[in-house]
Amino acid sequence: MSTTPATAAARRAKGAPGRLRNSIGLTWGLAIALAAVLLPFYWLVIAATHTSNEIFDSPPPLTPGGNLFHNLSTLQTTAQFGRVVLNSLLIAVVYTLCAGAVCTLAGYAFAKYRFKGRDAIFGLLMLGLVVPNQVTLVPLFKMMADLEWLNTYQAVILPNLALPFGIFLMRQSMGTIPDELLDSGRIDGCGEFRLFLRVVLPPMRPALAALGIFLFLFQWNDFVWPLVVLRDSASLTIPVALASLKGVVDTDYGAIMTGTAVAAIPMAIVFLALQRHFVSGLLAGAVKE
């Protein structure tokens, strides 16, 4: 935050008659680009309310149709979609809470304690950012099969709890807590864990919100790993169910588009509601040097 008074750049903004035209040009140009970017969302909502035949009509439908509820009931009968949505919600919520705790605790320790091996341990964890997930895909699958955990929630949730990106994000945010605050808590007789719960966490709420949204989105949208460990149709998450529906011959695209809308639209709304925290929280991790 610079406190410089009006700079030349700011002064320039008010001057010059061509300015206004440029401004309108830029804004409209970007608005057209944005319309193109948002078109898939509009089309998704439209398609979700039509039958498969209507979707592939020529010309394609551009206004809502009347088939939404029929699509939902098709989803329910062919894919147990209610159960699938419930699976997704449950897995994402439990994952967010647990991974949030693991990443926050570790991030706090890395940011605010000096201990032997700190940098080595942190470096090791960050290895996870570079090693592609595909490397562990097969052994993890075998591990889950040996544990007889295929088709279970824990098989989806456990392997990604110590998410390197989450730990990194939390270390960055926790660095902003002043040491004086921790010391004064200690002088007041706070144990280390209580200090974390009572002194550290409350002011970190925005960063925690960012982490929470990120973890929830990550799990809600995750595809490959759930695809590998979830095979039983009653245990699937939404992305896996959608992908499996698409493979079926005689695909009902109306139903698939409705399912896709259920996967995408609530997340978009949640994101729009909480974006202020999310973007600033992510950036705290991304851009600091």
User: Which residues inside 177-236 make contact with other proteins, applying CB under 8 A?
Assistant: 186-196, 217, 220-224, 228
The least distance separating other proteins from the CB of residue 93, rounded to whole angstroms, comes to: 17
Q: Does 94 bind other proteins (CB under 8 A)?
A: no
C-beta of 59: minimal distance to other proteins in Å? 6
- Secondary structure letter of residue 60 according to DSSP: P
The nearest distance, CB 164 to other proteins, in angstroms, is: 8
Q: Any contact of residue 151 with other proteins (CB under 8 A)?
A: no
In the complex, what is the shortest distance from the CB of residue 187 to other proteins, in angstroms, rounded to a whole number? 5
Which member of 86, 246, 248, 273 binds other proteins (CB under 8 A)? 246
Any contact of residue 154 with other proteins (CB under 8 A)?
no
Q: Which amino acid makes up residue 68?
A: L
Closest CA to 78 of 197, 241, 223: 241
Smallest distance from the beta carbon of 101 to other proteins, in angstroms? Answer: 8
Binding residues for other proteins restricted to 6-45, rule: CB under 8 A = 7-10, 12-13, 19, 22-23, 26-27, 30-31, 34, 37-41, 43-44
Spatial neighbors of 242 by CB under 8 A, at least 6 apart, are: 256, 259, 260, 263
Residue 147 gets which letter from DSSP? T
Question: At what angle are helices 81-112 and 205-221 packed, to 10 degrees?
Answer: 140
Q: Extract the tokens encoding 153.
A: 């929630």
Minimum distance between the CB of residue 218 and other proteins, rounded to whole angstroms? 10
Distance CA 273, CA 287 (A): 23
Burial of 87 per CB tally in 10 Å (0-12, 13-18, 19+): buried
Q: Which two tokens stand for residue 162?
A: 């110590």
The interface with other proteins within residues 249-278 (CB under 8 A) comprises 253, 256-257, 260, 263-264, 267-268, 271-272, 275
Q: How many CB atoms lie within 10 A of CB 236?
A: 25
By CB under 8 A, name the one of 119, 142, 145, 147 that touches other proteins.
Answer: 142
Comparing CB distances to other proteins, the nearer of 194 and 205 is 194
